[in-house]
Amino acid sequence: MTIKRRDLLTGGAGIAASMATAGLSTPAQAQSAVQWDREADVVVIGSGATGTTAAIVAREGGSSVILVETENHTGGHAICSGGNVPLGGGTSVQKKWGIKDSPDLVFQDLTDWSVVEPNGAADYRFNDREVIRAFADNCAATCEFLLAHGVVFVDKAPDKRGGTSVGNSIPREMHAAPMDWPLIQTGQPAPPDKRTTMSTGNGLMHPLAAAARKAGVEILLKHRMTAIHRETPRSGPVLGIAVDNDGKTLNIRARKAVIVGTGGCTSNVNFRRMFDPRLTEEYCGAAGQPWSTQDGSGELAGMAIGASLWGLSNFSAEFGDAITKPGSVGAQYIYVHLRWYPGSEVFDKARAIGLFVEDWQDLVLVNMIGNRFYDETAHQFTAGNYQSMLPYVPHNWRNGRDLKFNPNGFLDAALAGIGDGHNGGGPIWAIFDADAVAREKWKPKPPYVDHDAGFFFTADTVEELAKKIVMKYQRVSMPPENLAATIARYNSFVDSGVDEDFGKPKPLYKIAKPPFYAGWATPVPHDTRAGLRINGKGQVVDMNGEVIPGLYCGGESAGGFSLHGLARATCQGFIAGTNANAEERRA
How confident is the model over 245-297, as pLDDT tens digits? 999 999 999 999 999 999 999 999 999 999 999 999 999 999 999 999 999 99
H/E run at residue 310: strand 309-310
Residues across the chain:
587
pLDDT tens digits for range 9-33: 333 445 555 566 567 766 544 455 8
pLDDT tens digits for range 93-132: 999 999 999 999 999 999 999 999 999 999 999 999 999 9
pLDDT at 522 over 60: yes
Rounded CA-CA distance 216/300 in Å is 29
- Do 529 and 568 meet the contact criterion of CB atoms below 8 Å apart? no
pLDDT at 3 over 90: no
pLDDT tens digits for range 205-261: 999 999 999 999 999 999 999 999 999 999 999 999 999 999 999 999 999 999 999
Percent of the chain residues past pLDDT 90, beyond the cut = 92
Average pLDDT over residues 309-323: 95
User: First vs last Cα of the chain: how many Å apart?
Assistant: 20
HEC string of 350-397 equals HCCCCEECCCHHHCEEECCCCCECCCCCCCCCCCCCCCCCCCCCCCCC
φ, ψ for residue 140, nearest 5 deg: -65, -40
Rounded CA-CA distance 134/571 in Å is 9
Residue type, 307: A
- Do 289 and 333 meet the contact criterion of CB atoms below 8 Å apart? yes
H/E run at residue 231: strand 224-232
Give the pLDDT confidence score for residue 6 in this predicted structure.
31
Spatial CA neighbour of 173 closest among 59, 295, 85, 100 = 85
Does residue 517 sit in helix, strand or coil? strand
H/E run at residue 299: helix 297-304
CB environment 336-360: b (16+ within 10 A), e (fewer): bbbbbeeebebbeebbbbbbbbeeb
Domains within the chain, CATH numbers bracketed: 13-78+204-245+263-317+526-542+572-581 (3.50.50.60), 80-199 (no CATH), 326-378+429-520 (3.90.700.10)
- Do 332 and 450 meet the contact criterion of CB atoms below 8 Å apart? yes
